Structure 1
Amino acid sequence: MFGPQIPTVTISEITDETYLLDVREDDEWAAGHAPDAHHLPMMELPARLAEIPTDRDVAVICRSGGRSAQVVAYLLRNGWEQVHNVAGGMGDWDAAGRPVIGSDGQPGQVL
């Protein structure tokens, strides 16, 4: 869909040092997200670019990888160099047994 120009990482390649950027909508985030992720809905991205670090690896995640790939392409066009799309998104995150919490801090689910 986006071709080889979109850098991608797998769930297993994400470390504690990676800045995990979740670009899903508020209801998706509230239902379940990675505990250390940073939430920035895709549509708010242009107004909030300053919140995204440029000096470390950024992995962008959504539900399945489509929206996050669009965000990675946008960030690359705007000067980010260390940015990657998370292959399979939160669906693969959950399937890999990685933790998912709701906005209340309790176990969550991926919408």
Structure 2
Amino acid sequence: MTPPGNVQSVSIDDLPDPLPAGLSVLDVREDVEWAYGHIAGATHIPLGELPARLDEVPVGQLLVVCKVGGRSAQATMWLSGQGYEVVNLDGGMLDWEAAGRAMISETGQDPQVV
């Protein structure tokens, strides 16, 4: 895919906490990454499955996240081309975690970004 260039991005410092009503989160990390820690209420569709699962992407304003921001930038560019109103979280879940933002885990342990 095309490297990030004209991707609309936001840094964790510029992202309101809590997230604004009406803003959906799409997490494009792999299943194991999701299980260890993710944003409550986020939709999980791994990047490689995104084209086949486009009908599961929430409509409206969308924040796309991954671990660092690379995969989510690819997804953001692609979704933008499909007509979605999307923004990439620059720094991804690593910045989310470092900022002390809330996460949940599916592992039974404290949430973490892996």
Task: Please classify the TM superposition score into its range, dividing by the shorter chain length.
Answer: 0.7 to 0.9
> Are 1:42 and 2:44 counterparts?
no
Q: Give the TM-score of the pair, scaled to structure 1.
A: 0.88
What does 1:1-111 correspond to in 2, within 5 Å?
1-3=3-5, 5-11=6-12, 12-13=15-16, 14-54=19-59, 56-80=60-84, 82-104=85-107, 107-111=110-114
Number of matched pairs: 108
Corresponding letter in the other structure for 1:45 = L
* Aligned residues with identical type, % of pairs: 47
Corresponding letter in the other structure for 1:98 = R
More moved, 13-22 vs 24-33: 13-22
* Structure 1 unmatched ranges of 5 or more: none
Alpha-carbon deviation of 1:107?
A: 2.7
Q: Give the TM-score of the pair, scaled to structure 2.
A: 0.86
Corresponding letter in the other structure for 2:87 = H
Q: 3-state SS of the aligned residue for 2:102?
A: coil
CA deviation profile, 1:47-100 (whole Å, cap 9, x unmatched): 11011133x1100000000000000111111121x1010111000000111012
Corresponding letter in the other structure for 2:34 = W
Corresponding letter in the other structure for 1:85 = N
Q: 3-state SS of the aligned residue for 2:50?
A: helix
* Structure 2 unmatched ranges of 5 or more: none
